Structure 1
């Protein structure tokens, strides 16, 4: 590892020394003024590329606010190529620089409807793009995503499900790693479910699904990685997009994403403001029968979670020269939720006679602040594909949950009053370096290292008012958790292509040093372990339209912060969800085989997979004689699962598009806890079908259905759930803006329904986290066409060609 650090440092020093030793040649400016043919208006921010007589790119600039440009040029013979969206390309030849400046005067550029038409068709993103080790789902092409948040968008991604509590699962497993722009982020750190609801979907470009990550990625995430790619571009001039949303139940917000590019500097900024409310309701029935006592109670609950959130990101790209780029970004997210709930318990005796009704209310405030600062340096070399990248990031997060509870019965003069405090502070430091060296025609070697330090403090307590109106701490709900995590990693990976055969193999080593300490009860657990994580990807091109893939990876899932925290939520006085500070990581061997078929009007990706898991974490429900139910995660079992998945896109007509996804699998878990055998064996599936059509070229309509089949668990079963989404969009203001109407969960069917059964205990629950949502969204594009290319085409000097 020390040798690798030395190599990376020497490479960086060599790059800077080379820059310092360059002796500039005498250069003379080639100047001119660009105008639009017919009206003589200046052509702003057009791309001007200077080529030598033998067609070697020499330099490139853009025209300024007055249409003028200037290119410092050595002595020699050249020609110019001028390009601009919706304008015909312009070639200016016969440029000779001989010891003096050259003024080309006014250059008129003609518009071209043909060029514009071709650009729109060529630049349109498909909803799904397939790559060797991932699938990319472009958010903007799905109308049901417009005006939504990150959690809603993930729920529309094939293979991904989001339950009513906001927990994200990939192929049926919640042990999935969520990244922002390919890196860990405090935006989804301590409380991913709530954080994802506060990221405006308008700021998201795409979702990448990586089911068998290679060694360049962290080993974290048993079932794979979901990478949320935020919007960013380096187009010349001032351009961007603006969006406003209004909906019912209350969902109001606005966002913008803009950038200004001029010469070597690109300034970027995005901001999202959102206020939303999430009314939910549910009911449950609990039955307990033992030799000592029997009781039954039913519960109904109504709650509303919501509040105001802000997301701001500022950044700058600085193109030092042809080979060196420096990028810095700052982001801050502030939010404040006000969460209210009302629970009603109805107690019955053994004869099913109502004996008592208890009401419990909660009022919670939940302010959050997240700050991130990131710095990236990237160096490319004259050898195509060779690069060095160094990243550093600092994350600071703060969250405080403060709740007041009031519990009473109809025959009580005074009720029970309680309050709870839960403060969570997190600091995260990250640095990594990645180096790519190409060899041969298609080969490349990749290596890198990464270190991250995560420091998290959590202070929680519950207080209860006594008859003298004094507040007393409940000792069983009072502690202070300190969580210190240090992870150091290094990886090496190589790949090459031999005719139709492609192979990629890598090995990642990770050293983990994790200390968990409950300070008030003096409980401490220190874990130190080193693991090697291999990965292999094979691909063979059967024909031009068919490819088969094989892959293997070994991964782990470390317990999340919420899984370790002994205190979680005190809203329900009879059902207590708590973490387990003694949890250990899960380990997974993952195998996958895939077949990709490209057809004239669509694509079909079919996959079969198998996962073997060790130390599977499961939530175990236990009940005491007083009726207090506790849900606790433990390393329960060994698990095996295998399945078949397909993703299908089909365009029967130019104005009609279909896509469908289904994941059919079997999951088997088995393990012992407190000398009792727990096991499950379930066959189940998830699926999504969406259809989008253009109606008389005036508007677009989309309908989609998500379905999750029932499945068995180690203590019961989860019942089926489904949702229908609709969307309608129309371009206005000559194509510069779009109005979208949509409805999510049309029939109010996206509920969590589950049954838990064990010796002497039965529970049934039904909960709808958020009711049907109606949205209207207005999007305006500034100096940006509606259809956008997959990525900006940039030449070696960091500018668009």
Structure 2
């Protein structure tokens, strides 16, 4: 009730303020039509109205799609200033407004040679931008991202890795928070690995990497936050972009992103459709020798995971006036995936003689839907930097995995027939209020409240067919998990500049109420806890070209939904991955120091970091006497990580751009499991080198090399990975269209290789999720040339934090 009253008060104040703003304008106006030297309308030119007495800015508009403009005025004396890129500025003096409108008729605007020259050499938006607490990467600048999906794009980000199962890690840690447009989203809620593959990359504007988030962000995410910013236009008139992609192995898609703005209303819509197949293969060898049992077997697997997905979003911005905006959006995603897998087990004795061959096949169907509705209200005040924002979001997700398995021994007639069902339903309700109040010259206070309620229901069962062809439930693989999560948070932050120093300090409090219940076995785990999470950011400007930053944050990582599930899937009858309903959160102290050096032809961002973690969750592999392997996450250890990271951009010539990044780190983990000490001390690194050459002004050629060094774990090690991507693009249709051809993983070398050793158990595996891929993409910009997009991207006029 209090929340409803608060919203009602905001609504009353907003509409009252809007009415008072509108009443100040009379019916008088100055109008005209803008044409260029070719007699074509000048679209979206800036028409500013100034007072003749003191040259004070009174107001302004932009010309519409026909070049027309109408400036509302009161009685008085004015002059107009009309500006547009590549055209000479036009000033119309001595406009005396009495009792009648003024129609200036056709106004001709001529090209400005000097401006045209400046436009030609004007630099485009950098692929990386550094802000106080985050790095922003504009993904469209990387040709290998065109025609791909969100998972592929993240895999190209510095310090971000995506394994063959789609799990995302930042600086070597998988405890990273993934947001969409700065907010949690059901699109990546229940199954992030698969969901990211369903988001078309053509709908993504940028990726924000936040390694030490301030208190305005959720404390969730031990190593930081990855924020995926979706494309959204607010330009006047009808604008948009259209993209079509075709590739091999099968990868076909189309998407559009459009907006239509007139005066106070901006309509937005985006849609992406993708059909994709991902053929993969792998091998492994398992050896186990103990007093109770011993076995040796090799596994060969082939799979093809594919299907289609549709992503649709429609919304509207309503500009009540210059200071109040209401935005409503509705998004829907529907996908239908299939997963066909063949596993071949070859059993050997310890003399390496083949004793038995077992074939297991899986046919899985996986429909998934996601619905989201969001309402946002933003109010800015007369004082620069003062704002109030309110967000409400409702999320409804549904996912079902239905699989059928057939397993038989070569040479025998009998077969094992099984099926599994895994349904996952989610409801999520979120409210958030943020307020910024400036003080002094450059200082500001920030405060906010947030509440989220998340309800998840998972029903999992495995059935086996008996000789009478009846389905019998396997008891140890039958349960239902109910997960209820309520998190209430509030934060307070302050920041200010002191000469060359900038200081930002904040404190966030979060109350967590989480209930996990296994319905069929009556196991309940109810946790309630309150934590305070401080953050501190310092920066010092050494000189115009150099800045130093220091930061600290305290964070936690709650177990993910999949980590709590007692079941995952039943594809492999000998290796089973299960969750742990008793997992506790991890806590992390994170420190970072960085330096940004701007050079004449590039920039270098270098940083060192340290993280101390408590209750580190690691996957533990155990084997029973039958040879059945179980992989389960447990709160195993404490951990310390040290690292050095750099991002270098260097442009030796205007037509040649280099980017390089590397993350070198040491990770130490130590803990006890079943009275055994497990520890690891590893040095490793990840790196990426990219070169982009522009030929004949409209052809771009890019190549990139990625390398991930070996890494030790508490039960073995991950071996090295490397791959090369190539891309070629050309602008056509006077800059409104672009054709791009690319190949990902040129040498088909991106494979996950892993060794696990534990008390008589040895496993070596190699797996490739998707083979080398070729892509061709065509993009067309409606009422927007490529140059327009560069200019708008360089404009700092808005966007969500």
Which residue number in structure 1 is paired with residue 42 of structure 2? 43
**Aligned counterparts of 1:121 and 1:314: Cα–Cα separation in 2:** 37
Which residue number in structure 2 is paired with residue 444 of structure 1? 444
Within a 5 Å distance, the mapping from 1:416-455 to structure 2 comes to 416-455=416-455
Residue 779 (structure 1) aligned with residue 779 (structure 2): yes
Q: How far did residue 15 of structure 1 move?
A: 4.6
Q: How far did residue 293 of structure 1 move?
A: 1.9
Higher relative contact order (CA 8 A, sep 6+): 1
**Aligned counterparts of 1:432 and 1:119: Cα–Cα separation in 2:** 42
Q: How far did residue 609 of structure 1 move?
A: 0.4
Which residue number in structure 1 is paired with residue 301 of structure 2? 301
SS at match of 1:217: coil
Which residue number in structure 2 is paired with residue 332 of structure 1? 332
Within a 5 Å distance, the mapping from 1:169-568 to structure 2 comes to 169-568=169-568
Change in Cα spacing, 1:188 to 1:22, as seen in structure 2 (3 Å) is closer
Which residue number in structure 2 is paired with residue 139 of structure 1? 139
SS at match of 1:152: helix
**Aligned counterparts of 1:241 and 1:111: Cα–Cα separation in 2:** 27
Within a 5 Å distance, the mapping from 1:567-586 to structure 2 comes to 567-586=567-586
Number of aligned positions between the proteins = 798
**Aligned counterparts of 1:795 and 1:381: Cα–Cα separation in 2:** 21
RMSD of equivalent CA atoms: 2.1
**Aligned counterparts of 1:351 and 1:68: Cα–Cα separation in 2:** 87
Q: Render the CA deviation track for 1:183-242: whole Å, top value 9, x for unaligned.
A: 111111100000001100000011010000000000000000001011111111111111
Change in Cα spacing, 1:581 to 1:241, as seen in structure 2 (3 Å) is same
Residue 166 (structure 1) aligned with residue 166 (structure 2): yes
**Aligned counterparts of 1:23 and 1:353: Cα–Cα separation in 2:** 88
Which residue number in structure 1 is paired with residue 622 of structure 2? 622
Change in Cα spacing, 1:127 to 1:512, as seen in structure 2 (3 Å) is same
Change in Cα spacing, 1:7 to 1:790, as seen in structure 2 (3 Å) is farther
TM-score, normalised on structure 1? 0.96
Q: How far did residue 49 of structure 1 move?
A: 2.5
Q: Render the CA deviation track for 1:117-160: whole Å, top value 9, x for unaligned.
A: 43465462111111111111111100111110000000101111
TM-score, normalised on structure 2? 0.96
Residue 689 (structure 1) aligned with residue 689 (structure 2): yes
Q: Render the CA deviation track for 1:312-345: whole Å, top value 9, x for unaligned.
A: 1111111111211111111111110011000000
Residue 601 (structure 1) aligned with residue 601 (structure 2): yes
Contact 1:254 1:273 (8 Å CA) reproduced: yes
| Stretch of structure 1 that moved more, 676-685 or 60-69 | 60-69
**Aligned counterparts of 2:210 and 2:259: Cα–Cα separation in 1:** 29
Contact 2:18 2:320 (8 Å CA) reproduced: no
Contact 2:377 2:390 (8 Å CA) reproduced: yes
Contact 1:123 1:788 (8 Å CA) reproduced: no
Q: How far did residue 56 of structure 1 move?
A: 3.2
Q: How far did residue 263 of structure 1 move?
A: 1.1
Residue 27 (structure 1) aligned with residue 26 (structure 2): yes
Q: How far did residue 23 of structure 1 move?
A: 8.2
Contact 1:234 1:792 (8 Å CA) reproduced: no
Contact 1:323 1:796 (8 Å CA) reproduced: no
**Aligned counterparts of 1:529 and 1:548: Cα–Cα separation in 2:** 36
**Aligned counterparts of 1:26 and 1:235: Cα–Cα separation in 2:** 24
User: Gaps (5+ residues) in structure 2?
Assistant: none
Change in Cα spacing, 1:472 to 1:793, as seen in structure 2 (3 Å) is closer
Change in Cα spacing, 1:320 to 1:798, as seen in structure 2 (3 Å) is farther
Contact 2:662 2:688 (8 Å CA) reproduced: yes
Q: Render the CA deviation track for 1:536-566: whole Å, top value 9, x for unaligned.
A: 0000001111111100000000100100001
Change in Cα spacing, 1:26 to 1:658, as seen in structure 2 (3 Å) is closer
Which residue number in structure 1 is paired with residue 633 of structure 2? 633
User: Gaps (5+ residues) in structure 1?
Assistant: none
**Aligned counterparts of 1:255 and 1:411: Cα–Cα separation in 2:** 50
Contact 1:547 1:597 (8 Å CA) reproduced: yes
Contact 2:32 2:70 (8 Å CA) reproduced: no
Contact 1:122 1:789 (8 Å CA) reproduced: no
**Aligned counterparts of 1:790 and 1:504: Cα–Cα separation in 2:** 31
**Aligned counterparts of 2:508 and 2:643: Cα–Cα separation in 1:** 27
SS at match of 2:151: helix
